[in-house]
Amino acid sequence: MKTTKLLMLVMTIAVTLFILIPNLSWAADDGATIYKSKCAACHGADATGKPAAKIPSLVSDDAKKKSDSDLATAITETAKHPGSVKGLSADDAKAVVTYIRGLQK
């Protein structure tokens, strides 16, 4: 009987962790990590861009006016972005947009 209860407890904990871990912020890349690894080299750590190289600022008034959806689309579909950026998932692009919005303040 004790073995059955222990097994049920272990299974309950395992299922709970299986459900919760994907939703924990530390379990996945956050927008800042993705931005720093894939975007900062061109757009700069502060997202101001490089006007001389025609790399747009992500903190400009024009960028601030764009919707989150437009920014996410620009991240994943801009022809000049390398494949590693264009290949971002929708959730990763959304996380990057959230990070950029924080930089815009």
Q: Does the predicted model carry a pTM greater than 0.85? A: no
User: How far apart (Å, rounded) are the C-alpha atoms in residues 103 and 105?
Assistant: 6
For domain 29-103, give the fold.
Cytochrome Bc1 Complex; Chain D, domain 2 (1.10.760)
User: How far apart (Å, rounded) are the C-alpha atoms in residues 90 and 81?
Assistant: 16
What is the reported pLDDT for 58?
95
Per-residue model confidence as pLDDT tens digits over 7-39: 899 999 888 877 766 655 554 468 899 999 999
**Which whole-number Å values give the CA distances from 3 to 8, 10, 87, in the listed order?**
9, 10, 48
With a pLDDT cut of 90, the percent of the chain lying above it is 49
